[in-house]
Amino acid sequence: MLALLLGMKKIILILFLITCFIQKTNAEIIKITAQDAVDIALNNNLELQAKKKDIEIKYQEIKIATELKNPQFQSNFLMGKVTRGNSSQFGGYIPIELFKRKPRKEVAISELNKTQEEIFAFEHQLKIKVMKAYFDVLYAKSVLKVYQDREKLFNQMQNISKNKNYETEILQSDIKHRKQLVFINSAKSALLVAQLNLNDALNIKDSTKMYDTIENSLFDEDLDILNISVPKYETVEEMALKYSHSLKIANNNIDIAQKDLIVQQHKVIPDIAIAGGTAYQTAHQTKGEALPGAFVGAYIDIPIFNQYKPDINKAKETIEKTKINKESYECHLKIALKKDFNEFKYAKENMEHYKTILKDAHNLVKIYSDKYKKGDATLLNVIQVENEYKSIVGDYLSAMNLFFTSYLDLMENVGHDILLDDDAL
């Protein structure tokens, strides 16, 4: 009893906080489809907008990779008797890198390509996250509908029991009815949390709108969100090897490593520097006339002590590592695809079976309810049939949840909306 009271207090607190949040924000409730939710997220999600800034950052890194070395200004002013035979000088020193800027630029371009692919992968993950949050709202609505239907049923049984004046059945029906009220409150709380999670997944700046599913529950007829066909496995694997973001990123890593090797190899090429400027001696220094002039100079940086061999060897090992990583991921991907595909295929079959079972169980509850009204069955008979119906409804919703979850897992690994794209099939 104490646990029940604590649970009720927790539910009331959650409902109060959520109600305050909605009232405070004065949010407009807008019902949208799953595709609408995805489009809203892709166009307005704040985290995605922040990640897209990485593209401009990488563009700047390309410019950084090709920057020239700054010139240096140097001078030496001689003093004392040494000035009679030597000149003071003022000039510039310009370091020049040979064959190094282009390889660095190529690496920066490859890193830009990887960043772009990572953003595409994030958009794909965001789409899956939003679709899962959308489905969770539908699932919560369905659970609430189940308890609301049960509450109506036991309310009817309660009224019938009172008319029959059966004390034990009155108590039984009253207990069952009140428990449904508790379950309804819990389901309402779960629904509100799911709706808030959906809006959190969308992560948009406009807080004056609260989005909700256009569907009423998973018991609606012909739900578009579940209208998903099962393709051939060969098609799924072919699409995954073509579109998998992780595989593309693995290829980007190989490309970066290969171009970085060129950067390391070009470090052994000597850099040079040229210098030049004015040289002079004043009349005071020469005890006669002022002597104007100039100086020129050149420098070369020869890698004698540092041959960059460890840098080159490290780059070679990195290439081998990235290639092995790609092969490893391909192996894991094919196993994951088979696992997801089989779960998806059998979940769809089970969902179709449960639709028939659910219909039969619902008819059975109606038959026993009518019998109880006529006095041909006891309340215990109705409760037993109804409990079996509740169990079947739970299994049905679980089958739908597994079906949609396995679909999202498959879509994640494929890296493409293959199951929603007729052209792909």
The pLDDT of residue 93: 87
Task: Compute the residue count for the chain.
Answer: 425
Tell me which residue has tokens 């000088």. 89
**Domain ranges across the chain:** 1-67+101-227
Residue 53: how many other CB atoms lie within 10 Å: 9
The pLDDT of residue 309: 92
pTM across the whole model: 0.82
Domain 1-67+101-227 has what CATH class?
mainly alpha
The pLDDT of residue 5: 47
Q: Which of 196, 216, 199, 201 is nearest to 128 (CA)?
A: 201
**Mind listing the pLDDT tens digit of every residue in the chain (425 residues)?**
445 445 555 555 555 445 544 444 456 889 999 999 999 999 999 999 999 999 999 999 999 999 988 888 888 887 777 777 788 888 888 998 899 999 999 999 999 999 999 999 999 999 999 999 999 999 999 999 888 888 887 777 777 777 666 667 677 777 777 887 888 899 899 999 999 999 999 998 887 889 999 999 988 887 888 888 888 899 899 989 999 999 999 999 999 999 999 999 999 999 999 999 998 888 777 777 888 889 898 989 888 888 889 999 999 999 999 999 999 999 999 999 999 999 999 998 998 898 888 888 888 888 888 887 777 777 778 778 878 888 888 888 998 999 999 999 999 999 887 655 545 44
Q: What does the DSSP assignment read for 3-16? A: HHHHHHHHHHHHHH
At CB < 8 A and 24+ separation, what contacts does 279-285 make?
279/87, 279/88, 279/89, 280/87, 280/88, 281/83, 281/86, 281/87, 281/88, 285/78, 285/83, 285/84
The pLDDT of residue 23: 47
Could you tell me which residues come within 8 angstroms of residue 83 by beta carbon, excluding any fewer than 6 positions away?
A: 281, 285
Task: Identify residue 310 by its one-letter amino acid code.
Answer: P
Q: Which of 207, 210, 199, 202 is nearest to 46 (CA)?
A: 202
Contact 48, 122 (CB under 8 A): yes
The pLDDT of residue 25: 47
What angle, rounded to 10 degrees, do the helices at 379-414 and 101-164 form? 170
The pLDDT of residue 280: 85
The pLDDT of residue 248: 95
pLDDT digits (tens, 9 = 90+) for 188-234: 999 999 999 999 999 988 878 899 999 999 888 878 888 888 888 99
The pLDDT of residue 11: 54
